[in-house]
Amino acid sequence: MLCAVWLLGVVSVAPNRIVPGTSYPLVAALGMPGALLVTLLLGAMTALALRPARIHYLAMLLLLVMVLLLMPFGLMVAGHFLIDPALPQARLGLGAAYWTLSFVLLLYLVELRLRLAIKRLPTALLLVAVALAWWLCARLWLDDLALVQEFQARRGAFFSAVGQHVLLVGVAVGSSLLLGLALALAMHRFHRLRKAGFALLNFLQTIPSLALFGLLLAPLAWLGANVAWLGNLGVSGIGNTPALIALIAYSLLPIVRNTFIALQQVRPDTLEAATAMGMRGHQRFWQVRFPLALPVLIEGVRITTVQAVGLTAVAALIGAGGLGTFIFQGLGQAAMDMVLLGALPIVAMALIADAALGALADITRHGGAS
């Protein structure tokens, strides 16, 4: 972190959206007092890491949260020093050092969570609080930030894309959950179905996402044109239909595998005890086997959801909408801030889904113990 913040550019300044920005180091962005403060905080975290003890880990966590909360204020200071008021179209960009620092601090947070045995829900709430603080600073004081300017120019389209992205992920994960549970139960009951079922699901995972979208285009376009009721439902070679089919196909394997393994790992003597208590077959399943398998099943849903959040971005290439639209438009225009406008919410969605479903799995595991 120290090498990154001193040797790489922290921010960049461009006179407008078209001209490439000029990179500025830490001292130019924050001044010498600000640069020394950043170095002191990061150096203190490093020094504490060299002496492993719980009290030191707690101090590191406190310093980490402090640095995360100060980062948007650092952008405010950099904008004050570097943005010329005579250039109303000037934009402040995030440099390589800023991204490197953010990435390493998140790695710190993951490691500290493990070493301090902090549950996933408090960690998620901490990240949400930091994200809200950043959003508040961006809304009130960071009008010069390029990412904020891209958002303000596309506010309506952005919220529409977020809604479409969440809808696609929700429908895909919900549908794959129902199909996956049915397939897992069938494989658990009929042994001959296991090998063929897992072979097919593994094969679907090996197909690249763009290739699968391309394979679906021609047959769905033909069905939509030649089968009246499918055409009335909106089935076509582009849009939501191929996107949902591909997302469901990719989402089935984690759910089926986790559900099948969870059902198989329930101990036979537990089921025998339930039988001795007079439970019937469906009672043993819903009151004994399913509750014991539920944490592993939720882990499968967590993996599936995080995977679907990322894959849905690719669906923008076939007209399904979502946040991937900004990513590919930005790549086409060489506007990296527009790319970030689509990519950062996707990362945030994945982190929120991972933390929320992980916390739910912890709650259902052994009465809530993580």
Q: What is the CATH number of the domain that holds 269?
A: 1.10.3720.10
Please tell me whether residue 136 adopts helix, strand or coil conformation.
Answer: helix
Q: In terms of residue numbers, what domain contains 85?
A: 2-152
Domain boundary among 114, 129, 152: 152
pLDDT, position 331: 86
How do beta strands 22-24 and 11-14 pair?
antiparallel
d(CA 353, CA 206): 24
129 and 169 co-located in one domain: no
Q: In sequence order, what DSSP letters do the residues of 258-296 get, joined into one string?
A: HHHHHHHTS-HHHHHHHHHTT--HHHHIIIIIHHHHHHH
Say which residue the tokens 């929120």 belong to: 352
**pLDDT above 90: residue 140:** no
262 and 353 co-located in one domain: yes
**pLDDT above 80: residue 286:** no
191 and 103 co-located in one domain: no
> Taking phi first (over 0 means left), then psi (-120 to 50 degrees means alpha), and beta for anything else, what does residue 366 get?
left
Domain boundary among 116, 132, 152: 152
179 and 163 co-located in one domain: yes
**pLDDT above 90: residue 309:** yes
d(CA 48, CA 54): 10
Domain boundary among 99, 117, 152: 152
The tally of domains found in the chain comes to 2
d(CA 332, CA 264): 49
- pLDDT classification of 315: cutoffs 50, 70, 90: confident
- Answer for the pair 245, 325: CB distance below 8 angstroms, yes or no: no
- Answer for the pair 369, 362: CB distance below 8 angstroms, yes or no: yes
217 and 75 co-located in one domain: no
- pLDDT classification of 366: cutoffs 50, 70, 90: low
**pLDDT above 90: residue 332:** no
- pLDDT classification of 367: cutoffs 50, 70, 90: low
14 and 143 co-located in one domain: yes
50 and 171 co-located in one domain: no
Question: What is the average pLDDT across 177-202?
Answer: 86
213 and 77 co-located in one domain: no
The β-bridge partners of 93 are 12
d(CA 276, CA 323): 54
126 and 246 co-located in one domain: no
Question: What is the average pLDDT across 166-181?
Answer: 91
Q: When comparing pLDDT for 242 and 276, which is higher? A: 242
145 and 182 co-located in one domain: no
Tell which residue, 177, 169, 197, 187, has the closest CA to residue 352. Answer: 169
120 and 167 co-located in one domain: no
31 and 139 co-located in one domain: yes
How do beta strands 91-94 and 22-24 pair?
unpaired
Question: What is the average pLDDT across 161-186?
Answer: 91
- In terms of C-beta density within 10 A (0-12 exposed, 13-18 middle, 19 or more buried), how is residue 192 classed? exposed
